[in-house]
Structures are given as C-alpha cells and as structure tokens.
Amino acid sequence: MMSTYDELYRKEWQWQEGDLTVTRSMQWSGPGCHNGCGLLYYTKDNKIVKIEGDPNSPYNQGRLCMRCLNLTESLEHKDRLKWPLKRIGERGENKWQRISWNEALDIIEANVRKIQKEYGPESICGMVGTGRNICWQVPLLTYAGFGSPNFGYSFLSGDSCFSPRAAFIAVTHGDFSVCDCSQFHEDRYDNPEYKVPEVILIWGNNPIHSNSDDFLGHWIVELMKRGTRLIVVDPKLTWLAGRAEYWLQLRPGTDAALGLGMLNVIINENLYDQEFVEKWTYGFEELAERVRQYPVDKVAEITWVPKEQIEEAARFFAQAKPGAIQWGLKVDQSVAGVPAAQAIATIGAICGFIDIPGSNIYIRDAYDILSSYGTGYEEFLSPEMRAKRLGDEKYPLKRMGVGPTAHADSVLVALETGKPYPVKMLWIQTSNPIANMGADAPRLYKAIRTTDFNVVVDLYMTPTAVACADLVLPAGMSPERNGYKTWWHPLRSTSKIVQYYECKSDEQIVLEVGKRLAPQNFPWETDIDLINWMFSRSATYKEDFQTLQQKVTDYQKYEYKKYEKGLLRFDGETGFNTPTGKLELYSTLFAEWGLDPLPYFEEPPYSPVSTPLKSKEYPFILTTGARSLEFFHSEHRQLKTMREFHPDPLFDINSEIAAEMGIQEGDWCWLENHNGRCRQRAHLDPALSRKVIRAEHGWWFPEMEGSEPALFGVFDSNSNNLTEQCQNGPTGYGAPYANTICKVYKATEENSLDLPSLVVTRKGGF
C-alpha cells in the first residue's frame, strides 16, 4: 500500500520506517556550507543508508544541493581520518603513527604547558575555517583552555569574508541586516506580514552556488517565481544575471565606486526616502557632499559599467516597493572592502529599505545565544592578556572590539618576525589554509612550519596537516555530533546518530582538551552539558538541548520596524544601536577612530590604473574565489561524484581573446604574475570581459602523493600563489583576493618542468 505524505515525512524527531530509523536533523559541519538545511537521515546498523531533504524544515522545504545529496559518499569515504595520528617523520613527509586519544591529550598537554611557560599563553593561536559549527567551540578552547586572546580565521587576509561588511554595519547601523526572503518566519511566504521584494540587488554574490552566510540561494528563485525582479552586479554572466533586468558587469574591485555612482543618481534625482532620511539617519548632507565627487561619467570610467546602465539601475532600485540587497564575498575582497560595504548598504538605507517587510532586515542570533563567533568569552582573559591580541595595536576597529578575532595578517607577521611577540603553536580546526584561505599560499607554507608545535583537527588528511602538523585529530561530521546553530534564525539542532571509528565531535574535542588544560574552566562532563551551558548564557532561551533536539527547529516571532519599537537599542529607546541613535550615513565612530567616516573608492594595489607599467606585462585583471556547485572551498576534492562533474580546476577567459591567443576549451594554461603562478584549465566564456580572468580557488588533489614535494599538488593550481597577504585597508579589513593582475599562456611540457609544488617546497618559492 502507498504511504501518505504525512506518513513519509513526519514532524517528530525520529521514527521507524521498516528496518530504517529516520531522524530529522540539520547539516552544518564540514563538508558543506554556511547554511543549515533540514535533512532526513535514514540509518541502519550505525550506517547512514540514505539522506533526503526534510520537507518539513521551513528553512529549505525539502530542497538540498548536490553537496548534501552526496553526503553519504563523504561519510563513508575510505580516506577519512579514523583515529588520532602522531607525526613520526619530518614535517612534510606524511609519516604518521596511530595513537590513542589519551596519548594525544598527553602530548597536547605537555606541549601547551611548555609553550605557555616559555613564551606566554598568547603565543598559541586557535584557528578555524569558514563560519560553520566550529566558531564558538575553538574560541572557547583558545581563551579558556590555552589562555590566549588569539583566536582567528586561518590566515584569511583582512578577514575578508563577511567581516568587512559586518564591521561596517555593526558600527553604523548597530545591527546586521540581511535580505528578507521570509526566512525568519516559520510559515515562510504565507506569513501575513511578509511582502515579496519588488527588486533585489544582488551584489558580488552568486547565491545559487555559494549559499553563503545562512542564505539559501534557492530563496531568490522562489521570490522570482513570486514576481521579484533582479539587478545583478557581477563580472560574470551568472544564471541569475542572465535573468536580471540589469546586469552591471563591473571591473573587479570597483564596487565602492559603483555604489557611490548609484548613490549619486539617487540623491541628485531625489529618489531617496526623504522622510526616512530626515527622521532616522545621521549625516545625509556629508554623504551628499561625498557622492558629488563621484559623478556617473567618472564612475562609468572607473567601473567599466556604462553610464546609462548605472543611472537606470539606480532608478529601478530606488523606485521599487520595496527593494532589498543581497550581497556577498566580493564586496569584502578588496582593500576598500569596508567603504564598499558602506556605499552599497547606504543605497538601501537612503531608500528607506530598512527593516520593513521585503527589504534588508535586522537580525540577531536566535535567542541571543551569543559566543558564536568568538565573542563573549572575555571573562576567561585578564584585561592585560586581552590587550595582547594580535592586530589590536594597529587597527582601531579591532581594538575597540568590532570583530572579535586576531588579525590574520598580523598573526602571519608575528610568525615570520616574532613581533610583537613570537607565535609558537597553531591549533587549526577544520581548516586547510594553504589550500584555501591564506592569500599568499607559499608564504604561509613557510610561516606555519616555524612553530614548535601544531595540531590539526580535520575530516581528511590535508596539505596543511602534512606540511605543519605534529598531531592530527579526526573530527566527526554532522550526523556524528550533537550540536546547534544560531547563525540568525531559527535555532536548529544536529543530532548524533552514528559513530565513525574514533572520530569525535568538535564539542567533544574542545571539551576534552580544555579539561586537561584548565579543568576549572571546563566543568562539564559531556558535549550536551557544554551545549546546555551555552544555552544557559542566553537571557531568553529557557529550554535545553534535549528539548531542541526533539523540535529540530525553534522560531521566535520576527518583528519588523524594530527601530520604531525600541527593539534595537539596549536602553529600550527608539532608534538604532549607534552613538547618535540614528542610522549613521556618516560614521561618528569611524571619525573618532581616525578613519574616513564616509564611503570612498580606492584603486586595488595592482590594476591598470595603480600599476600601469606592471599591467603591461600582466594585462588581465584576475579575480579569484568564485564558488562552484560541487565544492565548498577546499572540500569535496576526494569525492568521485564531484570530480566526475568537475574534474579539474577551471579559469574563465573571454572566448574571443582565447581564440586570438590560441587557447581552446579545456587547455591547461599558466596564470602568472609578479608573485607566482598556477595551472588551471581554460573555460571559454563569451560574456566575460576581454580584460578579466576568473580563476577557481581551493584546489588540491587528494589522489596525488601527499608527501613533499607534491604535497597533494596543493600549489600547482593554487590561485593564492598570485594573491598577496598584508594588503589591507586602514580598517584592517578587506584584501584584494578578487582584484589583482596576471598574464595567461598555454602550459607546455617545456614550461611545466618545475611545478609550483616543487618550486615552493624544494626551491624556496617563486
């Protein structure tokens, strides 16, 4: 007999279907992305047999992308780490010995105590990869276990993923805002208060591929079906750009100029919301004066976007009822990352598209269960120790607590120079920085080998682990851990339903290491006790993990127009959580800290304008870091299914110019500049600018030899051989991953004798 829908997809946490146990849970650990899609795990005998999207999860409503649909391949992959490993050869030799967890903890304890005694706790850095279910655990271990203030994102130059946007918004709006796709309502599009945005301005983001920052790209498609029209700002004609009313094909790295040009049109043509601006914003006159410096002619010249398109798109957006902005990583990845964010967000702000249904709406973590990104543990550090955080001495935003992490480039410099003090140990948890995050991969490779002791916690043996680890610990994946998610809403749970060999969840690892190092700070017995302690820190969440586990998701009622209701400021007054109580178009805090209080454009360090001579030799603008459907950063490269879809690293090049250069689809080519080179296959794109190359990042080859010089081929196709570290703007945030220069030539046998992995690991670098 056929089962009904309600029998197949039930709302309880677990049920039995024949000999399979079905568990509703959520995915938010590696391998995977920033989201937290609802999954149904079908298990039998401690094995995941099948995974489906959970139609009863309001978040993804049953949809999954190929990464989660293929999760079983990763869960059972033969190359997964299964137990702790101790290095027995030299760093880079990839020789390991299996040890027990107890032996691993003994080694960690002995080394940490020695380093703490000889160099001080601050010489230990805790690091994580991109923001998934790891960003509250490792800060806790760093502060409360190691006693160090140096927690950060593994050498991500200028913290240039999300942080520049978050830093600017925190200072000038007082709260973070996101594009309203009804994601904070349990009844989603049926919610009576919700309004579909008339226009969404998608800026530097391909949400269909990236699903970034707890934003499911498919929501845009849902809104398009309901009438939303698009403006897309992207050098690439993406699937969404092809369906947009306006595709603004800007020169990479000129986002701030384009934003200022659009503001110029909106202000000059009086298209802004005068009532909102007068009542709720601060510094409009100063802003208007600044945008006068960016007439549309000049902006068109800087950005390569035709003047008419800038004007029309600005009008189209400003006249929407309402408009919303969905922005992404590319806003962050320039030296002008913060002012670019400032310019873009200001477009929505002066149009009054703020915290009303279908606009950019303010959101905090569910139930204010904080500490998710390294904030909130300062009770474990003395003021003197807190003041030692790397980068604080140089960057006022960091010093003032805007961004709770050690400055990545400053950590690198400390490793290299011992200044302001030596860094002697790295704790790297689920991150592969030489394949991925570090802007100058060869430089980073050298630096991370200077330490006395390093621990890498991961799912697989990675190039970073082989290059620098002394201990490697195996981490569990989502169905192997109890956890929760509070990146915005709703509050969600993951449940441990299977055990893989001796893997431990990130919570368990942090707890066990913390108990050894500082038992007074880690009084909990189990991972669930630790999670319940996190919940107890919330003033409003009164339930425990077990209750959340049964619910899977927990929504709070979402309130719009919070600035009118006194729901943003801590004093309960109406307005915004800023010094003036207004949404600051002119930042009073930036001015106080000696930073430009208004948005501005700064040329990338290398461009035809800033380095015309160099650009003759390297005539293309190189942008890196675009997402693919198959991979998340450096993950998934060992999965046969993903590699069948996407076997090799690809760079995009304009079809015409490729033909002129004799380059055909699939040809291996070298991308090279003054900093280094890498090899990728050509993908011809007729719509890409003739002057732009768009290269993939995160490539390594698990099928290759792991020991040096190959090191899984991590440098051979690494676009971060061409980008550089320590090129940050005055805020310390932002780095030009997405806008440097390069040349391109076909790879031949003769010019491929010395592969980059050999050059970097054996010949001292480029």
By the criterion CB under 6 A, which residues form the site for ligand SF4? 27, 32-33, 35, 37, 60, 64-65, 67-68, 211, 216
Q: Which amino acid type is present at position 708?
A: E
**Closer CB to ligand SF4, 130 or 342, in the complex:** 130
**Closer CB to ligand SF4, 68 or 265, in the complex:** 68
Rounded-to-integer distance, Cα 65 and Cα 261, Å: 36
Counting Cα atoms < 13 Å in the Cβ hemisphere of 331 gives: 28
Give me the sign of the Cα torsion angle 303, 309, 311, 312. negative
Least CB distance to ligand SF4 at residue 32 (A): 4
**Closer CB to ligand SF4, 115 or 216, in the complex:** 216
**Closer CB to ligand SF4, 208 or 684, in the complex:** 208
Least CB distance to ligand SF4 at residue 330 (A): 19
**Closer CB to ligand SF4, 32 or 734, in the complex:** 32
Least CB distance to ligand SF4 at residue 705 (A): 29
Rounded-to-integer distance, Cα 615 and Cα 608, Å: 5
Check: CB of residue 552 under 8 Å from CB of residue 490.
Answer: no
**Closer CB to ligand SF4, 636 or 679, in the complex:** 636
Residues 6 or more apart whose CB falls under 8 angstroms from that of 739 comprise 252, 253, 333, 334, 604, 606, 607, 621, 622, 623
Burial call 752-764: b when 16+ CB within 10 Å, e when fewer: eeebbbbbbbeee
Least CB distance to ligand SF4 at residue 530 (A): 23
Q: Which amino acid type is present at position 257?
A: A
Left (φ > 0), alpha (ψ -120 to 50) or beta: where does 464 sit?
alpha
**Closer CB to ligand SF4, 27 or 142, in the complex:** 27
Least CB distance to ligand SF4 at residue 503 (A): 20
Least CB distance to ligand SF4 at residue 31 (A): 8
Rounded-to-integer distance, Cα 367 and Cα 328, Å: 25
Least CB distance to ligand SF4 at residue 478 (A): 9
Check: CB of residue 490 under 8 Å from CB of residue 57.
Answer: no
Q: What length is written for the chain? A: 766
Least CB distance to ligand SF4 at residue 634 (A): 15
Rounded-to-integer distance, Cα 744 and Cα 637, Å: 25
Least CB distance to ligand SF4 at residue 54 (A): 11
Residues 6 or more apart whose CB falls under 8 angstroms from that of 130 comprise 34, 153, 161, 431, 437, 633
Burial call 106-145: b when 16+ CB within 10 Å, e when fewer: ebbeebbeebbeebbbbbbbbbbbbbbbbbbbbbbbbbbb
**Closer CB to ligand SF4, 54 or 122, in the complex:** 54
**Closer CB to ligand SF4, 216 or 513, in the complex:** 216
Burial call 448-460: b when 16+ CB within 10 Å, e when fewer: beebebbbbbbbb
Least CB distance to ligand SF4 at residue 60 (A): 6
**Closer CB to ligand SF4, 60 or 205, in the complex:** 60
